[in-house]
Amino acid sequence: MSPALRRHAPLVLVALLVLYPLLPFLDWAVTAIFGVRLQLDRQIINVMIFAILALALNLQVGYAGLLQLGIAAFFAIGAYTTGILTVDKYPFQLGFAGALLCAPVVAGLFGLLLGAPTIRLRGDYLAIVTLGFGEMTRVVILNLENITDGPRGLNPIPEPVLPDWLRDGLDRFLPADRIDLAAIHWIVLAALVGLLILMKNLERSRAGRALVALREDELVSGCMGIDPARTKLTAFAGGAAIAGLAGALYATNLRTTAEPNTYDFSYSIMVLCCLIIGGLGSLRGVVLGALVLLSFDNLVSPLLTRALQEQLGHDSTSVFANFANWRWLIFGGALILMMRFRPGGLWPARKREVDPATKADA
Amino acid sequence: MLTLAQQLWIGLTNGMVFALIALGYTMVYGILELINFAHGDLFMLASFLALTLVGLLGLATASGPVVVVGLLGVVLACAIFAALINRTVDRVVYRPLRNAPKLAPLVSAIGVSFVFQNLGLFWGGLPLDVMGGGLAAAAPKSFPDLIPSTNLLGDGAAFRITAKDLVVIGSSLCVMVALWLFVTRSRLGKAMRATAQNPLAARLMGIDVDRVISATFLIGGALAGFAAVIYGLYVNTIKFQDGYQNGLYAFTAAVLGGIGNIPGAVVGGLVIGIVRALSDQYIGAQWQQAVVFGMLIALLVFRPQGLLGANVREKV
């Protein structure tokens, strides 16, 4: 890749994603090529939401080095906050914009609440606390049926509406369902791009460098005047808030909070997988990881299963014949292999070169 | 009152299984400071092996003495199986990461845990009669009721003690005493305690630390294999997700007793068993997980050194 192209590649990608909802024929083309309806429009939104969630975890695990195994809990809190604030059952009915503002705040508060007493715990104990919190949250949401509608989930969640002038403009050359899609697509895209810019700046800011310093050596960075507990807690609550934002977008996209068991431990681990595969602390890597993981689930796995079942024919009821059943073997194996052979991930974070002048002094 | 006593008894019996699994967590943690996430799933795999062997040997329809001999064989096979797998995983996965950042082996252990779960799912899909003919791989498998579960106090008695309970408690106690004697009396046990206290100093004193670690994984695995057979016989249903939840409960037990502390793990296991039984009875079974995990969080926040307080020292 030439340097110019390399520099402009992200911009081109974003521009393509902005234009995507205006090009409905792309979906027809993809359907024609693969022979199955892949719902590419919905998949792109899913990947972007998943990438936002992964960026939240990246703030906690990648930058701050806090192993968090319960990110699904904050995702769920965001989704359910959106549900409670918007569905007909409750008197709030704030609509999409209100929920989008409140969900990160509520999730962030839960993050503070959990983090304040536990952030000082050693790494592996913190991992277990967050795991326990994640499972507890799921069980509580499932059991408080009066509030959360239990296994049915809260629905219907209203969809975002575009401003009238834009809607009228699009009305002329797009079908109605495509306009609804465009609304959620653009909102999610804006959130993702905004977050990426924010994270990029964080990497170069005082707060971001303090986090990385803490991750590398808590003792030394403490001596350099960084307050470990405070810095870590900020990162933890910040990650929780972003996960809440992802949850709000997720619920809005699905138009329901989905059933509570969606937000289980394996969901948290899937997000962690995405970081480890893409590259801990690497923004490009995290987005790549989200793309790889969801492509496996929604593209590779169904296509392979179809191919396999065509081959086997008679034995298609067996567990082995469905590729979806192999996913944890593959993801678990990926975790093991990545840790052993490529701890930086597929697309690792670039380490800033040490200035040769200062290096000579050291 | 009688309900309370009955729940305590049930909790105690269940607690034995948690205690056996917790021992595997606590021993590995004591030496490597690694939460061996896959330990619960190892237990699950061993329970699937137990069910497979019971099916192949036809124990469900065999007569009394054959069942006893057969079960001893199954216990032995499961213990060896789990011990060898545990040691192999350590050799292949954890050992190369000994000098890596501390979270690397933990993430690997989570990976191993998911690989095991997936293998359990596939195992349940094998075309065996005991596995339901391989039709529904993920469905719970019924484990034949090989030990009589009639009430020893008579059919109409208000309190229920079964031969099964006594077998579970008795055999678990025997194994725990044997482990205790091994750790306190034998040469290798002494080396283990030394390594847990200070691996570097132990190495300087001529202890082969790698051998000690291997032995720890072997013993922890064997205990999980034994627990798996006991669990299958006692609960009579196994499924491939069992390892995850029981493993977490057992880990809670290990933390409760003070992680790294061997008698602590047993006490913790019994406490968890009892808490679980009481919460099922008085709060509701659907809250069980929330109660146990809530307890785990509170414990880690307020008393991370556990009830019996092992030497939890941050190694800088």
Q: Give A17→chain B minimum CA distance, Å.
A: 34
What three-state secondary structure class fits B142? strand
Q: Does A9 touch chain B (CB under 8 A)?
A: no
Least confident of A2-16, A140-154, B224-238: A2-16
Confidence at residue B151, expressed as pLDDT on a 0 to 100 scale = 83
Q: Does B119 touch chain A (CB under 8 A)?
A: yes
pLDDT > 50? residue A362: no
From B110, which residue of chain A is nearest by alpha-carbon distance?
Answer: A332
- CA A333 to chain CA centroid, Å, is 21
Average pLDDT of span A172-198: 90
Confidence at residue A11, expressed as pLDDT on a 0 to 100 scale = 87
Which range scores top for mean pLDDT: A121-125, A162-166, A185-189?
A185-189
Average pLDDT of span A41-70: 94
Q: pLDDT band at A43, cuts 50/70/90?
A: confident
Confidence at residue A1, expressed as pLDDT on a 0 to 100 scale = 56
Looking at the structure of chain A, the number of domains it has is 1
Cα(A232)–Cα(A215) distance, integer angstroms? 9
Chain B residues touching A135 at Cβ < 8 A? 248, 289-290, 293
Query: Is A125 in contact with B304 (Cβ distance < 8 A)?
Result: yes
Query: Is A339 in contact with B97 (Cβ distance < 8 A)?
Result: yes
Q: Give B131→chain A minimum CA distance, Å.
A: 13
Q: Give B56→chain A minimum CA distance, Å.
A: 21
pLDDT > 60? residue B234: yes
pLDDT > 90? residue A300: no
Q: Which residue has the higher pLDDT, B116 or A159?
A: B116
Average pLDDT of span B165-176: 94
Amino acid residing at B81: F
A340 found inside a domain: no
Query: Is B297 in contact with A132 (Cβ distance < 8 A)?
Result: yes
Cα(B202)–Cα(B195) distance, integer angstroms? 5
A interface test, pick of B28, B110, B115 with most A CB neighbours within 10 Å: B110
Query: Is B114 in contact with A266 (Cβ distance < 8 A)?
Result: yes
A332 found inside a domain: no
B interface test, pick of A133, A293, A336 with most B CB neighbours within 10 Å: A336
Average pLDDT of span A107-133: 92
Q: Does B2 touch chain A (CB under 8 A)?
A: no
3-state secondary structure chain A: CCHHHHHHHHHHHHHHHHHHHHCCHHHHHHHHHHCCCCCHHHHHHHHHHHHHHHHHHHHHHHHCCCCCCCHHHHHHHHHHHHHHHHCCCCCCCCHHHHHHHHHHHHHHHHHHHHHHHHCCCCHHHHHHHHHHHHHHHHHHHHHCHHHHCHHHCCCCCCCCCCCHHHHHHHHCCCCHHHHHHHHHHHHHHHHHHHHHHHHHHHHCCHHHHHHHHHHHCHHHHHHCCCCHHHHHHHHHHHHHHHHHHHHHHHHHHHCCCCCHHHHCHHHHHHHHHHHHHHCCCCHHHHHHHHHHHHHHHHHHHHHHHHHHHHHHHHHCCCHHHCHHHHHHHHHHHHHHHHHHHCCCCCCCCCCCCCCHHHHHHC
Query: Is A129 in contact with B111 (Cβ distance < 8 A)?
Result: no
Structural domains of chain B, ranges and CATH numbers in brackets: 2-302 (1.10.3470)
Residues 113-172 of A with CB under 8 A from B: 117-118, 121-125, 127-129, 131-133, 135-136, 139-140, 142-143
Chain A residues touching B124 at Cβ < 8 A? 319
Which range scores top for mean pLDDT: A27-36, B46-55, B156-165?
B46-55
Q: Give A132→chain B minimum CA distance, Å.
A: 5
Confidence at residue B315, expressed as pLDDT on a 0 to 100 scale = 42
Confidence at residue A361, expressed as pLDDT on a 0 to 100 scale = 46
Average pLDDT of span A45-67: 95
A19 found inside a domain: yes
A6 found inside a domain: no
Least confident of A319-323, B101-105, B263-267, B294-298: A319-323
From B137, which residue of chain A is nearest by alpha-carbon distance?
Answer: A319
Chain A residues touching B35 at Cβ < 8 A? 124, 127-128
The average confidence (pLDDT) of chain B is 91
Percent of chain B with pLDDT over 70: 97
The average confidence (pLDDT) of chain A is 88
What is the interface size between A and B, counted as CB pairs within 8 Å? 135
Chain A residues touching B111 at Cβ < 8 A? 331-336, 339
The dihedral through the CA atoms of A35, A39, A44, A46 has a sign that is negative
From A315, which residue of chain B is nearest by alpha-carbon distance?
Answer: B135
Give the model confidence (pLDDT) of B30-42 as tens digits: 899 899 999 999 9
Chain B residues touching A65 at Cβ < 8 A? 103
Confidence at residue A355, expressed as pLDDT on a 0 to 100 scale = 56
Q: Does A321 touch chain B (CB under 8 A)?
A: no
Average pLDDT of span B110-128: 93
Chain A residues touching B297 at Cβ < 8 A? 118, 129, 132-133, 136
Confidence at residue A166, expressed as pLDDT on a 0 to 100 scale = 85
Cα(A238)–Cα(A58) distance, integer angstroms? 11
Query: Is B293 in contact with A132 (Cβ distance < 8 A)?
Result: yes
Query: Is A143 in contact with B293 (Cβ distance < 8 A)?
Result: no
Q: Does A326 touch chain B (CB under 8 A)?
A: yes
Q: pLDDT band at B304, cuts 50/70/90?
A: confident
Percent of chain A with pLDDT over 70: 94
Average pLDDT of span B115-140: 87
A186 found inside a domain: yes
pLDDT > 80? residue A312: no
DSSP code at position B96: G
**Cβ-nearest to B115 among A131, A135, A333:** A333
Give the model confidence (pLDDT) of B87-108 as tens digits: 999 999 999 999 888 888 999 9
Percent of chain A with pLDDT over 90: 58
Domain that holds residue A207: 15-265
Confidence at residue B310, expressed as pLDDT on a 0 to 100 scale = 53
Confidence at residue A358, expressed as pLDDT on a 0 to 100 scale = 56
A289 found inside a domain: no
Q: pLDDT band at A356, cuts 50/70/90?
A: low
Average pLDDT of span B47-60: 93
Confidence at residue B316, expressed as pLDDT on a 0 to 100 scale = 39
Q: Give B309→chain A minimum CA distance, Å.
A: 15
A interface test, pick of B41, B92, B107 with most A CB neighbours within 10 Å: B107
A4 found inside a domain: no
Cα(B71)–Cα(A150) distance, integer angstroms? 43
**Cβ-nearest to A124 among B35, B119, B316:** B35
Query: Is A329 in contact with B118 (Cβ distance < 8 A)?
Result: yes
Q: Does A188 touch chain B (CB under 8 A)?
A: no
Cα(A211)–Cα(A197) distance, integer angstroms? 18
Amino acid residing at A183: A
Q: Does A319 touch chain B (CB under 8 A)?
A: yes
Least confident of A95-109, A205-219, A295-309: A295-309
> Helix A176-203 crosses helix A3-19 at what angle (to 10 degrees)?
140
